[in-house]
Structure 1
Amino acid sequence: MSIKLRLTFLSFFQFFVWGAWLTTLGSYGFGFKNWTGAQFGAVFSTLGLGSLIMPALIGIIADRWMNAEKLYALLHILYGLTLFVLPFIDEPNTFFWVLLVSMCFYMPTISLSNSLSYRILIDNQMDVVKVFPPIRVWGTIGFIAAMWTTNLLSDPQSPWEAGKAVGEQIAAFTGHAINANQFYIAGVFAVVLGIYSFFLPKCPPENKGRGAGSWMDNLGLKAFKLLGNYKMAIFFLFSMFLGAALQLTNMYGDTYLKDFEKIEQYKDSFVVEYSTIIISISQISETLFILAIPFFMKRFGIKKVMLISMFAWVLRFGLFSFGNPEGFFWMIILSNIVYGMAFDFFNISGSLFVETSIDPEIRSSAQGLFMMMTNGFGAIMGSVLSGWMIDGYYLLPDGSKDWSGIWMVFAIYALFIAIFFGLLFRHKHNPAEVKNMSH
């Protein structure tokens, strides 16, 4: 098997084992466990908590003490084993702690998978800039495939009778709803990926036996001096706010579509039965918009591209607010298409801005700060505050959620972010930014 094919397999299942449950966790918590918004917000915040310090700590281990491929393999096996425990837990506080442990194992593997791929490609004299992007695209495809698999095997009305039968047997054995399949699917393939990774090309520690810099450098803390620069401080602050917006989509998108079953005229609609497949249009769109980033960056520059992303978030949430499975089904579809622009133009262009705006000696730690602000602090903020808001202001008398109002508040939130970012962020476009992408 060629190196590129082996890394493609790695990328595909890296995100398959996350996508199998990430967008459907809300349906599981609200629909089967009857969690409150605050309880679910706390549970979902584990992704952010797992992103605060674990990637940096795992990076130190890989740099100084242990082969990266072995560490990666071990983390995925532990991640898979903890996922097997989740279906047996009813109490949300216990669920929170087990999922937090699981995220401490999984979240570091996102950056570690990139490091592994870069190292292996370089060791095999391959052009990383040219070869890696087509490999990474398969990660998004894996995420989509996982969402479809979960939807088809967990839905009692699934046309895949074999999958339906398996789901019913698992449900009968565990005493829990068929929807718990999402954790078994992810867990099985996480363990398989872990075993597979032991047989990847060896990636021994590069800093073993010699100094690897101060602990401040290794933990990425040196990059915090960037917060003393006005432009960078504003950029990182708004990165945190947009990280919260992304978390809202992950938390509530599938739950929102599933809840249409509580309305008589929509209960048997395609949207309800195949909600996860519809949400996966967002990831399909993501694979397309990523190809447009170089053109937009060269033509408009980072500030305008980021503003495009922010207004795309306004559309994403606003279209959900007015959409429904019949007359305004097109709004739901368009919202998922717009997601690709909202996500890619923020995450990828933001990462590029960091790469081309700071001193080379702190690029890695600056990227760590960017991840910490988006996937860490931003994710936690989005999880906790949205759960509190829904419980306090958007529960209807019958206990259901006012999704139209919820999405509209999220849209207004994104609109305010866009307005204030446009006013406060000062940056003069330099076309050389795009040229620097390959350096």
Structure 2
Amino acid sequence: MSSSLNLKYRLIIMNFLQFFLWGTWLTSLGVYLSVTLHFNAVEIGGIFATMGISALIMPALLGIIADRFLNAERVYAICHLLGAALLFYLPHVTEYSQVYFIMLLVTMCYMPTLGLTNTIAYNAMERSNFDIVKHYPPVRVWGTVGFIVAMWMVDIMKWTASANQLYLGAAAALILGLYAFTLPKCPPTHATKNSSWVSTFGLDAFVLFKEKKMAIFFIFSMLLGAALQITNLFGQQFLNDFALTEEYKDSFAVQHPGILTSLSQISEALFILAIPFFMKRYGIKNVMLISMLAWVLRFALFGIGNPDSGIVFIMLSMVVYGMAFDFFNVSGSLFVETETNPSFRASAQGLFILMTNGIGTIVGTMGSGYVVDLFTSSDGIKDWPSIWFSFAAYALVLAVVFSIVFKYKKTEHIKTA
């Protein structure tokens, strides 16, 4: 086996396990917290908000360690080994405050590994003279495959409301943590060691807020980022609640919510291939508007769907998710890439992540919890159509306002190769 092919397989395994681990609990943990631990929507939103809190703090802190003191693959390994121990311990606590604290530690270990995965892969590919733009996407797509496989396993084993999903995640984290020690070396770079603390934390990118166009973009990144985790929190709970209705309780959607939800990830893997075409033909502003309107459809189709005559609407909602998620994240990243000064482009990308996965996640998870509670009766029955239509209205307002206030002509020099 050639060294280049061997490297690709090693990075594929890393990506597969990285997202397999996340897929064991991200879309089903809400069911476990609701059905098994009987937490309310606000409490569940608070627990999921730990991802946003961790995204605000940990990537920068561990980035300093990986950039200045310790090989990135070793930081990566330590994070996953600690995460494995925490996931294994999590089922042994049931009080909200304890679950919240342990979950905060879990996400503090996991969230920075998303960036470290890219760092390790990019470094290894550059050292082997790979064309990263060409060769990394086929490697990265195996992460989506891993996420789907994990969702299917949890679903088929009937673990969506069981702590076994956490034990499966712990096993995956342990295997990945040990495997990480065998990954290509990614030592600290002397150039980054000598950089200022302001640059290391990405604070120099905040100068972009002085430019109206960029300020509007980042604000809407935060507001749309609030929508990204809503269906991860409540999608499977929504399907699970149909079991309360006699005519739906034996339907495929109720019996296998994980498999049905995985259509979203399959769609995501397919739509990412269409982005260069849409970018070249319609431009960044229109692609981002398409994403916002796709979020409107994502929520509205859930609102009118059911596991019987309305199953087609639920399936369409899953399909449109790929456009909603990918078109915003990838087009937004490309906008930052082409519109910022190369001297702090990496910091600007970090700011984009901070606004979407950090502040946006906190706002979305906490805010959506209050919306769900607002439409939950005293006996615990949720008015799901009203819930989803509220989220759809939110996305529609964003789309309308964005189309008016964001001024950007279709003259972008987007790299689509």
For 1:290 and 1:431, the matched residues in 2 are separated by 19
**CA offsets 1:66-110 (integer angstroms, 9 cap, x no match):** 011111111111111111111111111111111101111110000
Paired residue type of 1:345: F
Q: Does residue 1:302 correspond to 2:284, yes or no?
A: yes
Shift of 1:133: 0.6
Shift of 1:397: 4.2
Q: Does residue 1:11 correspond to 2:21, yes or no?
A: no
**Aligned position for 2:380:** 399
Say which is worse superposed, 369-378 or 84-93, in terms of deviation. 84-93
**Aligned position for 1:249:** 231
Report the 3-state secondary structure (helix = DSSP H, G, I; strand = E; otherwise coil) of the residue aligned with 1:179. coil
Q: Is the 8 A contact 1:260 1:267 kept in 2?
A: yes
Q: Is the 8 A contact 2:73 2:185 kept in 1?
A: yes
**CA offsets 1:359-413 (integer angstroms, 9 cap, x no match):** 001111101100000000000001111112222x201243111111100000000
Q: Does residue 1:423 correspond to 2:404, yes or no?
A: yes
Say which of 26, 38, 47 aligns to 1:22: 26
For 1:137 and 1:422, the matched residues in 2 are separated by 31
**Aligned position for 2:186:** 203
Q: Is the 8 A contact 2:66 2:75 kept in 1?
A: yes
For 1:337 and 1:211, the matched residues in 2 are separated by 44
For 2:83 and 2:392, the matched residues in 1 are separated by 34
Matches within 5 A, 1:276-355: 276-355=258-337
Matches within 5 A, 1:23-62: 23-62=27-66
Q: Does residue 1:129 correspond to 2:133, yes or no?
A: yes
Q: Does residue 1:186 correspond to 2:163, yes or no?
A: no
Shift of 1:178: 6.2
Report the 3-state secondary structure (helix = DSSP H, G, I; strand = E; otherwise coil) of the residue aligned with 1:280. helix
**Aligned position for 2:157:** 153
**CA offsets 1:241-260 (integer angstroms, 9 cap, x no match):** 11111111111111111110
Shift of 1:237: 0.5
Q: Does residue 1:434 correspond to 2:415, yes or no?
A: yes
Root mean square deviation of aligned Cα: 1.3
Q: Is the 8 A contact 2:35 2:161 kept in 1?
A: no
Report the 3-state secondary structure (helix = DSSP H, G, I; strand = E; otherwise coil) of the residue aligned with 2:379. coil
Paired residue type of 1:18: W
**CA offsets 1:334-376 (integer angstroms, 9 cap, x no match):** 0000000000000011001000000001111101100000000
Shift of 1:25: 1.2
Q: Does residue 1:77 correspond to 2:81, yes or no?
A: yes
**Aligned position for 1:259:** 241
Q: Is the 8 A contact 2:265 2:322 kept in 1?
A: yes
Paired residue type of 2:143: G
Report the 3-state secondary structure (helix = DSSP H, G, I; strand = E; otherwise coil) of the residue aligned with 2:157. helix
Q: Is the 8 A contact 1:154 1:182 kept in 2?
A: no
For 2:131 and 2:219, the matched residues in 1 are separated by 34
Q: Does residue 1:369 correspond to 2:373, yes or no?
A: no
For 1:90 and 1:397, the matched residues in 2 are separated by 23
Paired residue type of 1:401: K
Structure 2 residue runs without a partner (length 5+): none
**CA offsets 1:119-143 (integer angstroms, 9 cap, x no match):** 0011112111111010001111111
For 2:366 and 2:378, the matched residues in 1 are separated by 23
For 1:242 and 1:354, the matched residues in 2 are separated by 16
Structure 1 consecutive aligned stretches of length 4 or more whose deviation exceeds 2 Å: none
Say which of 351, 374, 392 aligns to 1:411: 392
Q: Is the 8 A contact 2:88 2:166 kept in 1?
A: yes
Q: Is the 8 A contact 2:242 2:249 kept in 1?
A: yes
Paired residue type of 1:44: F
Structure 1 residue runs without a partner (length 5+): 156-176
Paired residue type of 1:271: A
Q: Is the 8 A contact 1:144 1:283 kept in 2?
A: yes
For 2:190 and 2:80, the matched residues in 1 are separated by 24
Say which of 108, 115, 119 aligns to 1:115: 119
Q: Percent identity?
A: 51
For 1:154 and 1:233, the matched residues in 2 are separated by 45
For 2:300 and 2:132, the matched residues in 1 are separated by 39
Shift of 1:211: 4.4
Report the 3-state secondary structure (helix = DSSP H, G, I; strand = E; otherwise coil) of the residue aligned with 1:205. coil
